[in-house]
Amino acid sequence: MIINGVEIRDNFAEAFPMVGTRLIVTADTPEWALTAGRTTTGFATSVIGCGCEAGIERMLAPEETPDGRPGVSLLIFAMDFGSLKKVVPLRLGQCVLTCPTTACYAGVEGGKRVPLAKTIRYFADGHQISKKIGDKRFWRLPVMEGEFVCDEDTGSVEGVGGGNFLILARSRAAALHAAEAAVAAMGKVEGVILPFPGGVVRSGSKVGSKYKGLFASTNDAYCPTLRGAVPSALPPEVASVLEIVIDGFSFEAVSEATKVGVAAVCAVGAEGGVVAVDAGNYGGNLGPFHFKLREIMKDSTGGEP
Amino acid sequence: MSGVSLKPRAPLEARVDLSGITPAVICPLTLRELEHLPVPHGGRSVPLAELFFIEGAPEGVLLIEIGDARLDGVGAGMSEGELIVDGRVGAWAGRGMAGGVLRIAGDAGDFLGAEMSGGRIELAGHAGARAGAAGSGSRRGLSGGVLKIGGTAGPRAAERQRGGLIVIAGDAGDGLATDMIAGTVSVGGAIGPLAGRGMKRGTILAQARPELPAGFVDTGVHELVALRLLARRVPELKDMLGGWTHARRIVGDTLMGGQGEVLMPG
């Protein structure tokens, strides 16, 4: 399949189950909400080293938030519910509670409950104020700047982690330009995050390593500088490869994000230096979710068999 | 029978205790069973049919046409369904209610919604003393649900309240929220003297500064995000808090070690 001169390789992305939650963080200004969002989701690129994968889902207008102030919605994913219960209060306590003017609310209603103020409230040393009306309880914690308002807990969902595609380009600049276009387009899809820096990964990995104790190592088949030295998956004209990794609340959300992202890459096209779009998998042994590129893109305009 | 309508045959000659006569209890009964249902009337017990004409009503609804100040315990112990009174009621309406909706078109006597733990009461008229309070000798008042009073509330409303929400559109009498343990009470009109005495936690939302006991401490005017949240999340407080971003916060009753608060526009 070729779209706008870009080959969509007959490959699939392989993803695995993760447990995720959504937080709504508000602040007096969009800038401070974004600061809280970026800090909370910082150092959360890969569960392999960070314990969770997190990102900003989107900015929220005042009318979309529980307190009528601007905000961000954040998604946080972990490999199991126990880990999620551990990482969310940690990040909340370190990055939202401390950030000026913020408040934090539940972004998911159903599922197992992830504690928010349920644990953080003790920071107020007995001065915490609980308010429960109907089924929902929230807490007010006096802090130096005013009050930190936070829902007691949030729900969780069984999500999908590790959806991905690879951009194979003639130059680093072309690969980056296409990746940026993909990230911008994918930012509009609800229920997904791109947890890596700026949404883009330069260090795509393969499973295992020659060194004992390492779970993952550089994806040498897609390293242009190793072409010839190892079995390479790269055509000769490819000089740079970037990966977009997608975590989502559902298979459909990740699939939609893949479609939107690959379409944006294809819009840059062969003229923009993009050669092909590929995907990372490990022979189907890593996870049960397979995102087949050609199947996902078959409805896109401009596709040729 | 899916729903039941009760219409008094004549003005009541003695007080009637309707405690336990809830939609969940009587809607599944047949007409014959309902007619013979014993009801305390004055010093004796009489069949329901001796006091009321009994007819059908919409599914899950118990309708009492033409209320009476001698009808006590209307909706007491309710857990589901809808009970509508087209008039006034006596004491203990909605006492110990755990769920469902109780709508009263007229006034209510004392102890309206006393010790209720869930559900919703909507009173169009005025409430007597101790609305949402604890019963005599009991330690806990209203602990959950919503008690909405369209008119004024008598003395000691929200006494020993420990959760939930009481909304009083008009004035509140003396000793509002005395010994309040937790929860929220909002008053649209004036508040009588000695509000919040012995208050441990909980919130009184007031339009103007009430006369408070000596144990209350003014902490000044603050910008409170919680006000915006309550205004958006709790429909009953939308009118009261709409536009509030700052509030004067008075904390008490500190003489009792309490951390309750009275909030009013700053």
The minimal CB distance from A149 to the residues B182, B226, B231 is found for: B226
**Taking CB atoms and an 8 Å cutoff, what residues of chain B touch A103?**
225, 229
Q: Does residue B54 form part of some domain?
A: no
Residues 6+ away with beta carbon under 8 Å from A40: A23, A25, A54, A74, A91, A92, A95, A96
Q: What is the CATH number of the domain that holds B76?
A: 2.160.20.60
The minimal CB distance from B222 to the residues A67, A133, A146 is found for: A146
Report pLDDT digits (tens) over A89-135.
999 999 999 999 999 999 999 999 999 999 899 999 999 999 998 88
Interface membership of A29 toward B (CB under 8 Å): no
Q: Which residue is closest to B221 within chain A, CA to CA?
A: A146
Q: How far is A152 from chain B (nearest CA, A)?
A: 14
Residue B75 DSSP SS3: coil
Q: Does residue B55 form part of some domain?
A: no
Name the token pair of A304.
Answer: 């040729």
The overall average pLDDT reported for chain A is 94
Q: Does residue B31 form part of some domain?
A: no
The minimal CB distance from B165 to the residues A68, A133, A146 is found for: A133
Closest CA to B216 of B177, B184, B255: B255
Does the structure show a pLDDT above 70 at A171?
yes
* Tally of structural domains, chain B: 1
Q: Does residue B49 form part of some domain?
A: no
Report pLDDT digits (tens) over B196-228.
999 999 999 999 999 999 999 999 999 999 999
Q: Does residue B198 form part of some domain?
A: yes
Q: Which domain holds residue B145?
A: 61-265
Please give the C-alpha separations between residue B154 and each of A274, B108, B135, B158, B173, in angstroms, as whole numbers: 77, 10, 15, 10, 5
User: With left for phi above 0 and alpha for psi between -120 and 50, is residue B236 left, alpha or beta?
Assistant: alpha
Q: Does residue B19 form part of some domain?
A: no
Q: Does residue B34 form part of some domain?
A: no
Q: Does residue B261 form part of some domain?
A: yes
Number of alpha carbons in the 13 Å side-chain half-sphere of residue A138: 21
Report pLDDT digits (tens) over B239-262.
999 889 999 999 989 999 999 999
Interface membership of A136 toward B (CB under 8 Å): yes
The minimal CB distance from A140 to the residues B182, B226, B233 is found for: B226
Report pLDDT digits (tens) over B133-165.
999 889 999 999 999 999 999 999 999 999 999
Q: Inter-chain contact B233–A149, Cβ cutoff 8 Å?
A: no
Report pLDDT digits (tens) over B73-116.
999 999 999 999 999 999 999 999 999 999 999 999 999 999 99
**Taking CB atoms and an 8 Å cutoff, what residues of chain B touch A149?**
225-226, 229
Read off the pLDDT of each residue in B22-42 and give the average, rounded to a whole number: 89
Q: Which of A129, A143, A148 to mutate to test the interface with B (most CBs of B within 10 A)?
A: A129
